Amino acid sequence: MRVEIWSDIACPWCYVGKARFEKALAAFPHRERIEVVHRSFELDPGRAKDDIQPVITMLTEKYGMSEAQAEAGEDNLGAQAAAEGLPYRTRGRDHGSTFDMHRLLHHAREQGRQVELLDLLYKANFAEERSVYDDDERLVALATAAGLDADAVRQVLADPEAYADEVRADEREAAQLGATGVPFFVLDRTYGVSGAQPAEVFTQALTQAWGERAPLKSIDDGGEVCGPDGCAVPRQ
Amino acid sequence: MRVEIWSDIACPWCYVGKARFEKALAAFPHRERIEVVHRSFELDPGRAKDDIQPVITMLTEKYGMSEAQAEAGEDNLGAQAAAEGLPYRTRGRDHGSTFDMHRLLHHAREQGRQVELLDLLYKANFAEERSVYDDDERLVALATAAGLDADAVRQVLADPEAYADEVRADEREAAQLGATGVPFFVLDRTYGVSGAQPAEVFTQALTQAWGERAPLKSIDDGGEVCGPDGCAVPRQ
């Protein structure tokens, strides 16, 4: 069974929701047969790569919050993260474009290193002092720590179109599936779970989707195939 | 809607079935919203890269056919291909491992060139005099003709593990979905169509799967999300 998780590195609820989902998954009896796929969703898709600002400033400018409101919001999110055992710097974090990170996550997926990179990106964004938006070499360092080849990563970063279509395709698909915010969890393209739900809700969703896994409905079994025993002889 | 097609380059029915499917797709009113994904399935997964032999010889040795039977089978397949307007050399083709071609098709997918490469590989295998199993540079030439970067392709070919996991994952998934031969078409993970069916069957499958596209069942809408308007304030 496949679970697709649309999220953004810059999304605190995605960071928290991922930990809650993973708690449910770790206790799920069929966890070995669940494939988890990260899907891209940018909260701030129009932002230029060099447009970086402190999160608190972004919150006041973009959403018209007072500084005190913005700080209280961060404090709340920090407390939610802490409750999941996740480190979270409530002050001094940066906000910027996550497009290149999503491109790298697609590259990492085909190298079998997606979850490693995602975890390191979240940690870098939410818990480390050095900004994750510093420069490309910051991303190269994180990607190599996730097991990726530095030169291949530099090549992806140098070509703004590398994996760009895959990021955009993910975002189009999210819209088609009805997601307006993230995290957004889709189980076997049948069940949707929106938001950083408690682990119990994910357990329920996994159980329900697992129980209802449907075999494919066959339209017609009569077509000619090639298989391990050769190719069917054509009907005359 | 997504259509996944499991197939092998060395599979005549896949070559024919793809043309029949595409005929149906070209006339399908919602074709612009159908994503087609190639999935890997090797008919002869145990074959070593340097174990290449004429198709007719393979058919007599592997399946115990007489030479006349093997040639009649190829003649029949050639006629089926011709009926779809596809060139097909019924004599002198080679058989060998398609593992590297599948690895390249995964590479091509992330470059947005999968269908271009697949078409060129089929054409090379079924219609061209030069063997598609000649050497790596034959594949490099086909891949660059499909729009891929030659150096990147050589890098994939030089590393036998590049995209190998993705090929194997496709093959495991085919087995889980109940495919024992190819081509095998899966529409939205709901409908399965086995074999090189007439275009009418694909039209029926597309129509049926499209009509039954189900919205996601929502487990719980109450989770906190971040969206274009910022992040939800946590429940206290």
Distance CA B187, CA A136 (A): 40
Q: pLDDT, tens digit, for every residue of A5-28?
A: 999 999 999 999 999 999 999 999
Query: Residue B75 sits in which domain range?
Result: 2-211
B130 CA: distance to closest CA in chain A (Å): 23
Bridge partners (DSSP) of residue B40 are B7
Indicate whether A105 pLDDT > 90: yes
For residue B29, pLDDT beyond 70: yes
Is residue B64 domain-resident?
yes
Interface pTM, i.e. ipTM = 0.84
CA distance A159 to chain B (A): 12
User: Which among A96, A83, A92 is positioned nearest to A8, based on CA atoms?
Assistant: A96
Contacts of A88 (CB under 8 A, 6+ apart): A12, A15, A77, A78, A81, A82, A126, A127
User: In this structure, what are the phi and psi dihedrals at residue B226, rounded to the nearest 5 degrees?
Assistant: -105, 140
Cβ within 8 Å, pair B194-A218: yes
Lookup result for tokens 């198709």: B55
Model pLDDT, residue B234: 56
| pLDDT score at A236 | 44
Interface membership of B37 toward A (CB under 8 Å)? no
Q: Is there a domain that residue A225 lies in?
A: no
* A64 vs B: CB within 8 A: no
Contact A191, A21 (CB under 8 A): no
The tens digit of pLDDT for each residue in A149-193 reads 999 999 999 999 999 999 999 999 999 898 989 999 999 888 999
What is the pLDDT, as a whole number, of residue B22?
A: 97
**Contact between chains at B226 and A193 (C-beta distance less than 8 A):** no
Tokens linked to B171: 């093959």
- DSSP letter at A119? H
What is residue B215's predicted lDDT score, i.e. its pLDDT? 81
Whether the predicted pLDDT of A235 surpasses 80? no
Kindly determine whether residue A226 and residue B63, on different chains, have CB atoms separated by under 8 Å. no
Q: Give residue A234's pLDDT.
A: 56
Nearest to B219 among A11, A191, A215 (CB): A191
Strands A184-187 and A191-194: antiparallel
Q: Which of left, alpha, beta for B57 (phi over 0: left; psi -120 to 50: alpha)? A: alpha
Is B130 inside any structural domain?
Answer: yes
- A45-96 residue pLDDT tens: 989 999 999 999 999 999 899 999 999 999 999 999 999 999 999 999 999 9
User: CATH number of the domain that A169 lies in?
Assistant: 3.40.30.10
For residue B100, which of B161, B148, B54, B179 has the smallest C-alpha distance?
B161
What DSSP string runs through A57-77? HHHHHHH---HHHHHHHHHHH
Q: What is the pTM of this model?
A: 0.69
CB B133 within 8 A of CB B96: yes
Per-residue pLDDT, A67 = 96
pLDDT score recorded for residue B228: 84
A230 and B CB contact within 8 Å: yes
Name the residue among A73, A148, A225 with its Cα closest to residue B5.
Answer: A225
**Partner-chain contact B223 A195, CB within 8 Å:** yes
What are the phi and psi torsion angles at A187 (to 5°)?
Answer: -100, 115
Q: Please report whether residue B37 resides in a domain.
A: yes
Residue of B nearest to A195 (CA): B223
> Cβ neighbours of residue B222 under 8 Å, at least 6 residues apart?
A195, A197
pLDDT score at B236 = 44
Q: Note if the bond before B183 is cis, omega within 30 degrees.
A: yes
CB A150 within 8 A of CB A141: no
Predicted confidence at residue A223, as pLDDT, reads: 86
Q: Which amino acid type is present at position A167?
A: V
Q: How confident is the model at residue A230 (pLDDT cuts 50, 70, 90)?
A: confident
Name the more confident of A222 and A153: A153
Task: Say if residues A204 and B219 touch (Cβ distance below 8 Å).
Answer: yes
pLDDT over 70, % of chain B: 98
CB-CB contact of B71 with B122 (8 Å): no
Nearest of A192, A27, A10, A40 to residue A114 by alpha carbon: A40
Q: For B202, which DSSP code? A: H
Identify all chain A residues contacting B207, using CB atoms and an 8 Å cutoff: none
B162-167 average pLDDT score: 93
Q: Flag whether B38 is in a domain.
A: yes
Within a domain: B129: yes
Tell which residue, B199, B185, B15, B40, has the closest CA to residue A221.
B185
| Average pLDDT over chain B, rounded to an integer | 93
Which amino acid, one-letter code, is at B55? V
d(CA A37, CA B63): 40
Query: Is A194 close to B221, i.e. CB distance below 8 A?
Result: yes
Domain count across chain A: 1
Residue A59 touches chain B, beta carbons under 8 Å = yes
CA–CA separation, B106 vs B121, rounded Å? 13
Structure confidence at residue A20 (pLDDT): 97
Q: In a 10 Å sphere around its CB, with 0-12 CB exposed, 13-18 middle and 19+ buried, how is residue B144 labelled?
A: middle
Whole-number pLDDT of residue A221? 67
- Residue A228 falls inside a structural domain: no
Place of tokens 């097909």: B88
Longest dimension (CA), chain B: 79
B205 interaction partners in chain A (CB closer than 8 Å): 219-220
pLDDT for B221: 67
Q: Largest alpha-carbon pair distance within chain A?
A: 79
Residue indicated by tokens 């530099």: A154
For B76-114, how does the pLDDT look when each residue is reduced to its tens digit (9 = 90+)?
A: 999 999 999 999 999 999 999 999 999 999 999 888 899
Q: Is B147 on the interface with A (CB under 8 A)?
A: no
* Chain A interface test: which of B8, B224, B235 (most A C-beta within 10 Å): B224
Provide the pLDDT for residue B213. 84
Is residue A158 one of the residues assigned to a domain? yes
Residue A122: count of CB within 10 angstroms of its CB: 23
Please, which residues have CB within 8 angstroms of residue B44's CB and are 6 or more apart in sequence? B10, B95, B97, B98
CB-based contact B73 A233, cutoff 8 Å: yes
B151 vs A contacts (CB less than 8 Å): none
